[in-house]
């Protein structure tokens, strides 16, 4: 009997427990979550955790998830980022219910700020940003109250309106919540909730010259959309009291609750937007989608699949603390995903010409080869064989060390899917470099013929020389070599691994000439590769190595 495969889900975790309790207690009918990126960069693997948690948990309870762009800071935001974020979420396989922009709520946020002023819970401060910072106090000392803290409601209303009208310059005034300058939680010491910024906004244009601060705007956005569980990463934990204060004092009808989960970090990777941005601007990276960087678009270009990324995220789970995960764990999931899906073919990355002297000149025969021996349903492909082939340069050694079973003078090896060949002669150029190998082949040893006459110890791969398709292979190592915490200071460019990209030029089987961007293959002995969408041309295929075949690391 066929059983329907259950949809994979996140294993039990504290957020799921809370949601179950809230539903059982009748506190919420429908779970509503949101993913709230700031459109100031591309999404990375860390965001994939936040996305998966928000979308999969709501889905499990039959709920909804909004995509909301938290675009309250006009200066750093851009439509390019809005579009890339949408594309990445869809590519990961998630569908949002509502699509919103925080900037759509500016008018409502303004009105709620007016309400706070009326209630005596907000005031216009004229201190400079430095003064405000200096009077905030420390963990052990309370802050100092602003001399403007006790203005009348009328005065505050008038000044706030004039701030909106554009009567003041950037930084001249701010609106602050009036809470408690002695609170043990520094976030409650009269946080700034509006600032003046004469800047063009990608969504609202020049309509506004005052902008709400994230900590004030975010709870309102959640409440307006009827979010029930506002899930965010751990650094927002100290903001939770202010989050609740805003929802309560602004008298929002719907009351969202904030829960924090641990951030995902990956060894040998760079995730911070600011850092990636700088590397892109400095030309160290080939765009935000450079296959070495763990942005979603970089991973897509490298050849990772949504299935592998989601399986990886599920495996790392949802915990209450930040965690660093070994990047090799991702490799495990992509190998698992591609094992049965990717056609297997031969590619020669560093070619050395081999002439088979006893093979008839001008003759080409077609040999059968399985497309994927682990998945016979994929069928058979045909590969040409003739007098001239390419093999991998390091599959030949003139003076081999002991236990070298590949090609060397006098030795016989099997050509994968073809014949035994024996090395008879080495051709060198004037400088003594090996430029060609001359071999003989034994027609009786054809693959699949059942030949049992004698055995050879080595099997090497090859491609037929006259029809082979030229290709470029991009091999990657981690972008950074150490596992230090991310630091965005200038000297950090030093961390970049100078060997993170190695380009080789060789050949693939002719049947791959029509490969399309993002087609994935397993190259015999070399690993899994993805056709690069950016550099592949009609003349030349460019492949990104996703991952090699083996690793010592298994989950």
Q: 327 with 338: CB under 8 angstroms?
A: no
Say whether residue 46 binds ligand ATP (CB under 6 A).
yes
Among 173, 257, 273, 332, binds ligand ATP (CB under 6 A): 273
Q: 518 with 276: CB under 8 angstroms?
A: no
Select from 199, 131, 143 the least CA-distant residue to 166: 199
End-to-end, the C-alpha distance of the chain in Å comes to 31
Sequence-separated (6 or more) residues with CB below 8 Å from residue 469? 507, 508, 509, 510, 512, 513, 541
Q: Which stretch binds ligand ATP (CB under 6 A): 38-46, 369-377, 423-431, 463-471?
A: 38-46
Distance of CA 51 to the CA centre of its chain: 12
Alpha helix positions (H), 456-526: none
Helix axes 306-316, 79-92, angle to 10 degrees: 80
Structure tokens at 257: 């609750």
Q: Which is nearer to Mg ion, 266 or 349 (CB)?
A: 266
Q: Which is nearer to Mg ion, 22 or 38 (CB)?
A: 38
> How many other CB atoms are there within 10 angstroms of residue 540's CB atom?
12
Helix and strand counts by DSSP (H, E) for the chain: 12, 27
Say whether residue 351 binds ligand ATP (CB under 6 A).
no
Q: Which of residues 221-240 bind ligand ATP (CB under 6 A)?
A: 232-233
Q: 35 with 90: CB under 8 angstroms?
A: no
Q: Helix or strand or coil: residue 395?
A: helix
Q: Which is nearer to ligand ATP, 48 or 252 (CB)?
A: 48
Say whether residue 104 binds ligand ATP (CB under 6 A).
no
Q: Which stretch binds ligand ATP (CB under 6 A): 37-45, 113-121, 218-226, 501-509?
A: 37-45
Give which of Mg ion, ligand ATP, none residue 36 binds (C-beta under 5 to 8 Å, depending on kind).
Answer: ligand ATP
Q: Which is nearer to ligand ATP, 109 or 232 (CB)?
A: 232
**Cα gap 83→485, rounded to integer Å:** 30
Write each residue from 35 to 64 as x if it is in contact with Mg ion (CB under 5 A), else as -, in one continuous string.
Answer: ---x--------------------------
Q: Which is nearer to ligand ATP, 36 or 74 (CB)?
A: 36
Say how many residues touch Mg ion, by CB under 5 A: 1
Say whether residue 298 binds ligand ATP (CB under 6 A).
no
Q: Which stretch binds Mg ion (CB under 5 A): 30-38, 41-49, 54-62, 201-209?
A: 30-38
Write each residue from 383 to 422 as x if it is in contact with ligand ATP (CB under 6 A), else as -, in one continuous string.
Answer: ----------------------------------------
Say whether residue 492 binds ligand ATP (CB under 6 A).
no
Say how many residues touch ligand ATP, by CB under 6 A: 15
Report in angstroms how near the CB of residue 328 gets to ligand ATP at its nearest.
Answer: 18
- Can you list the positions of beta strands (E) in 403-526? 412-415, 420-428, 434-442, 459-460, 462-464, 469-476, 501-508, 520-523
Report in angstroms how near the CB of residue 20 gets to ligand ATP at its nearest.
Answer: 22
Say whether residue 63 binds ligand ATP (CB under 6 A).
no
Q: 53 with 260: CB under 8 angstroms?
A: no
Write each residue from 183 to 222 as x if it is in contact with ligand ATP (CB under 6 A), else as -, in one continuous string.
Answer: ----------------------------------------
Among 163, 217, 224, 271, binds ligand ATP (CB under 6 A): 271
**Cα gap 181→174, rounded to integer Å:** 16
**Cα gap 175→129, rounded to integer Å:** 12
> How many other CB atoms are there within 10 angstroms of residue 364's CB atom?
13
Strand partners, 12: none
CB-based closest residue to ligand ATP: 46
Secondary-structure breakdown of the chain: helix, strand, coil percentages, each rounded to the nearest 5: 30, 25, 45
Q: Which is nearer to Mg ion, 167 or 235 (CB)?
A: 235
Report in angstroms how near the CB of residue 44 gets to ligand ATP at its nearest.
Answer: 6
Structure tokens at 497: 């691994």
Q: Helix or strand or coil: residue 275?
A: helix
Give which of ligand ATP, Mg ion, none residue 273 binds (C-beta under 5 to 8 Å, depending on kind).
Answer: ligand ATP
Report in angstroms how near the CB of residue 281 gets to Mg ion at its nearest.
Answer: 19
Report in angstroms how near the CB of residue 235 gets to Mg ion at its nearest.
Answer: 9
The residue assigned the tokens 């590397």 is 279
Q: Which is nearer to Mg ion, 38 or 436 (CB)?
A: 38
Q: 347 with 526: CB under 8 angstroms?
A: yes
The DSSP symbol for 187 reads G
Give which of Mg ion, ligand ATP, none residue 256 binds (C-beta under 5 to 8 Å, depending on kind).
Answer: none
Name the site residues for Mg ion (rule: CB under 5 A). Answer: 38
Name the site residues for ligand ATP (rule: CB under 6 A). Answer: 36-38, 41, 46-47, 49-50, 232-233, 263-264, 271-273
């Amino acid at each position: 009997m066929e059983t329907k495969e259950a949809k994979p889900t996140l294993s039990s975790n504290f957020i799921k427990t809370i949601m179950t309790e809230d539903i059982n207690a009748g506190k919420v009918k429908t779970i509503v979550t949101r993913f709230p990126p700031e459109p100031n960069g591309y999404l990375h693997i860390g965001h994939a955790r936040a996305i998966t948690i928000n979308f999969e948990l709501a889905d499990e309870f039959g709920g909804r998830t909004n995509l909301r762009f938290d675009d309250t800071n006009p200066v750093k935001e851009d439509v390019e980022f809005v579009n890339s974020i949408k594309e990445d979420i869809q590519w990961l396989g998630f569908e949002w219910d509502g699509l919103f922009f925080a900037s759509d709520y500016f008018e409502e946020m303004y009105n709620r700020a007016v309400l706070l002023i009326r209630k005596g819970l907000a005031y216009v401060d004229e201190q400079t940003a430095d003064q405000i910072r200096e009077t905030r106090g420390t963990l052990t000392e309370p802050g100092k109250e602003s001399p403007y803290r006790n203005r009348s409601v009328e005065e505050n209303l008038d000044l706030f309106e004039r701030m909106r009208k554009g009567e003041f310059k950037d930084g001249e005034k701010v609106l602050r919540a009036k809470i408690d300058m002695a609170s043990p939680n520094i976030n409650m010491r009269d946080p700034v909730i509006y600032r003046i910024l004469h800047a063009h906004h990608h969504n609202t244009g020049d309509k506004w010259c005052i902008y709400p601060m994230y900590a004030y705007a975010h709870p309102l956005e959640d409440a307006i959309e009827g979010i029930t569980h506002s899930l965010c990463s751990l650094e927002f934990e100290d903001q939770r009291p202010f989050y609740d204060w805003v929802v309560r004092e602004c008298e929002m009808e719907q009351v969202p609750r904030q829960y924090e989960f641990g951030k995902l970090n990956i060894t040998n990777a760079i995730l911070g937007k600011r850092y990636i941005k700088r590397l892109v601007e400095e030309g160290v990276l080939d765009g935000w989608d450079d296959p070495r960087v763990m942005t979603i678009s970089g991973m897509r270009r490298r050849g990772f699949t949504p299935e592998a990324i989601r399986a990886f995220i599920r495996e790392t789970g949802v915990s209450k603390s930040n965690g660093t995960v070994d990047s090799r764990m991702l490799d495990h999931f992509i190998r698992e995903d591609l094992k049965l899906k990717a056609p297997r073919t031969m590619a020669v990355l560093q070619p050395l010409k081999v002439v088979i002297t006893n093979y008839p000149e001008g003759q080409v025969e077609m040999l059968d080869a399985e497309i994927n021996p682990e998945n016979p349903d994929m069928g058979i492909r045909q590969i040409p064989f003739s007098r001239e082939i390419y093999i991998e340069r390091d599959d030949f050694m003139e003076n081999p060390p002991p236990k070298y079973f590949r090609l060397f003078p006098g030795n016989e090896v099997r050509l994968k899917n073809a014949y035994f060949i024996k090395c008879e002669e080495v051709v060198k150029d004037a400088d003594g470099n090996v430029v060609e190998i001359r071999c003989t082949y034994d027609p009786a040893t054809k693959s699949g013929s059942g030949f049992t006459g004698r055995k050879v110890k080595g099997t090497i791969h090859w491609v037929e020389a006259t029809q082979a398709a030229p290709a470029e292979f991009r091999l990657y190592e981690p972008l950074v070599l150490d596992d230090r915490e991310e630091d965005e200071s200038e000297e950090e460019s030093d961390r970049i691994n100078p060997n993170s990209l190695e380009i080789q030029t060789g050949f693939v089987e002719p049947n791959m000439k029509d490969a399309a961007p993002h087609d994935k293959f397993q190259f015999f002995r070399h690993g899994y590769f993805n056709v690069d969408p950016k550099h592949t041309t009609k003349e030349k295929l460019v492949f990104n190595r996703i991952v090699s075949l083996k690793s010592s690391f298994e989950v």
